[in-house]
Amino acid sequence: MAVGFIGIFGIVLFVLVLLMIVAVVLSVRSRQKNIDPVYQDEGGKKMIKMVYTYLILFATLMMTIGGSVASFMAVADLVSPPSYYMTYEEYKRGYVVPQEYSDPKQPQQKVEEKSEEELQKDYQILVSQEKIRARERALNSLIKSFGWIVIPLPIFLYYQRRLKQE
């Protein structure tokens, strides 16, 4: 079973967080041996607060970066929407259903024959509607991506200022 990019990213993120926690625990233990017993508990709490702050900074930064990438991709889809893949010939062939592909149990319905100009006009309408739908999907995706930037960014800035003060 193939693992997608998000799955691999999740595994790497989990391993990094696990390694950070192990490093913090080892660092706290080594510092505790050198600290006076009176101040020992205070140093551990301070270290845990610092790790918590760095984890929040890391998580919010990753969310902001992911939102930025998704926003860029949505803007690219807005500027240059994906092409419509059905050619006119395929559309024309698919419009008239041959007798051999129709359901024998259903009563035969008359298929209204359209002229070449009407078919061309219908195809152009279909293509333009598909382009409009593609732009609407890109705009919807852009709005959602901005949420991944706007929501975590203030949290990141708050904790960054808090870290500088400490």
What's the one-letter identity of residue 6? Answer: I
CA-based nearest residue to 71, from 157, 155, 164, 144: 144
73-105 pLDDT per residue, tens:
999 999 988 877 777 777 777 764 444 444 556
122, two tokens: 């219908």
Return the higher-pLDDT residue of 29 and 163: 163
Number of domains composing the chain: 1
Within a domain: residue 109?
no
Q: What is the mean pLDDT of the chain?
A: 78
Within a domain: residue 156?
yes
Within a domain: residue 108?
no
pTM of the shown model: 0.59
Within a domain: residue 104?
no
99-131 pLDDT per residue, tens:
444 455 655 444 456 777 888 888 888 888 888
Q: Say which range, 18-27, 79-88, 106-115, 144-153, has the weakest mean pLDDT.
A: 106-115
Within a domain: residue 152?
yes
Within a domain: residue 102?
no
49, two tokens: 């607060």
Confidence of residue 139 (pLDDT cuts 50, 70, 90): very high
Q: Which domain holds residue 82?
A: 5-94+114-165
| DSSP alpha helix (H) spans, the chain | 5-34, 40-79, 88-95, 116-150, 152-165
Task: Report whether 77 contacts 138 (CB < 8 A).
Answer: yes
What's the one-letter identity of residue 40? Answer: Q
Within a domain: residue 105?
no
Within a domain: residue 99?
no
